[in-house]
Structure 1
Amino acid sequence: MTDERAPGLILHPPGGGTAFHFDPGALCLELLTTGAPAPYTRYETLHRPADLAGWLPQSRLGLPYEAVRISDEQLAGIRTLRDALWRLAATRAGGGAPGLLDSGRSAGAGGTADDYAVLNRAAALPPLAPQIAPDGTPAPPLPGDGAQLASTVARDAIALFTGPYAERVRECGAHNCHLLFVDTSRPGRRRWCSMERCGNRHKVRALRARREQAE
């Protein structure tokens, strides 16, 4: 599930801007960088199976572009899973209760029993099969399909939401940034999606405010 050694993603802000490094701390949260449900549908990047295949080598999976066969139907299923995960993770980040919900009832800021059902259905299918190389190191999984990829992501999400970091799902502290991450740092005080981006911007604004007060 979580892996502090993972390099994270290089994100390119919509409409241009400087690329920045973002490590959300879990595979399932990496998928959330590909788009989101309303009102953020304008950030959708998964328009074709090839778009999802292009995400594979950037993710924690580190798989080659051609490692997973993805049909149009499976792509739609992964987008549905991603949107459910986004609502559930956003609820966690906002302090919403993750307990059992009445069917269809909203949980805090978002996430319903239906979203949990989407997650469980995906996880019930076989995941990508792990492999080991002759030297004892991890090897790329056997070629799989989009349903197996969805199961792998869903199982990672369940491990996150039911594990020791369940209460550390956070939203970036910047007022105009909605990236979600799990804080795997030892002190548990991470505030920003990335110090390269929102963290540095906060420092610059704070420094400017102190200078203005001193004048």
Structure 2
Amino acid sequence: MHDPKGGSFRFDAGAACLDFAHTGGEGRYAVFETLHEPVDLAEWLAQPPPAAIITVPVTARELTAAKTLRQAIWDAAHARAANRPLPAEAIAVINRAALEMPLIPELAADGTTAGWTPPVRAAQALSTLAREMIELLSGPLSGRIRECASDNCPLVFVDTSRPGARRWCAMERCGNRHKLRALRARQATDP
């Protein structure tokens, strides 16, 4: 991820749908926006996962639908992380996106690699992300959706660690900042 103030850090949300939720946002999160034009959505979807090379140009309408789905995923993930009921509007948006035909996997002629059956449309990729979110919210990892424990970091992730004790979006960022603050506090109180 790239911070608009400079710097970057590696962040793995544990699910492509949550990675998608971190591509920007509304209000105070608008500074993190990466999906400005339809081509930006096509470029994001081409990155793994989902590695969907869009063969039909993304429309402005699909970009709007993507941002709506992104916000619904964000809202649902934060509600689940806080053990609150999921917002009805977020559920409706996710379900509506999942109604579209998803990406269809296709084994390459060499039998060792796979891709997506063409034509590949943005709506299919969004449906695939929505379906992944449905599986995440209703599956065994549902209780492992977490918000970063930092007091000023809203990133959400799936805690796939064996003990289920992951606290930070990234140890290189928020985890290290917490450790540094704790060290400085201890040093300030030591005689």
| 2:23 is equivalent to residue 31 of structure 1 | no
How many residues end up aligned between the 2 structures? Answer: 190
What is residue 45 of structure 1 aligned with on the other side?
A: 34
Alpha-carbon distance, 1:39 to partner:
4.3
Matched residues in 1 for 2:28 and 2:58: separation? Answer: 26
Moved more, 88-97 or 35-44: 35-44
Matched residues in 1 for 2:134 and 2:15: separation? Answer: 11
Kept after mapping to 2: 8 A contact 1:48/1:75: yes
5+ long unaligned stretches in structure 1: 1-10, 99-111
Kept after mapping to 1: 8 A contact 2:146/2:157: yes
Matched residues in 1 for 2:189 and 2:76: separation? Answer: 41
In structure 2, give the amino acid aligned to 1:46: L
Matched residues in 1 for 2:62 and 2:40: separation? Answer: 13
In structure 2, give the amino acid aligned to 1:160: L
In structure 1, give the amino acid aligned to 2:34: T
TM-score, normalised to structure 2's length? 0.92
Alpha-carbon distance, 1:138 to partner:
4.1
What is residue 56 of structure 1 aligned with on the other side?
A: 45
| 2:4 is equivalent to residue 14 of structure 1 | yes
Moved more, 73-82 or 131-140: 131-140
Kept after mapping to 2: 8 A contact 1:30/1:59: no
Kept after mapping to 1: 8 A contact 2:35/2:41: yes
| 2:129 is equivalent to residue 139 of structure 1 | no
Identity among equivalent positions (%) equals 49
5+ long unaligned stretches in structure 2: none
Matched residues in 1 for 2:73 and 2:183: separation? Answer: 37
Tell me the alpha carbon deviations over residues 41-80 of structure 1, each in whole angstroms, 9 at most, x when there is no partner: 333221101111221243421344x556311111110110
In structure 2, give the amino acid aligned to 1:186: R
Aligned-CA RMSD value:
1.7
TM-score, normalised to structure 1's length? 0.82
Matched residues in 1 for 2:42 and 2:19: separation? Answer: 14
Tell me the alpha carbon deviations over residues 158-193 of structure 1, each in whole angstroms, 9 at most, x when there is no partner: 010000000111111111111110111111000000
Equivalent of 1:81 in 66, 69, 83: 69
| 2:171 is equivalent to residue 195 of structure 1 | yes
In structure 1, give the amino acid aligned to 2:39: A
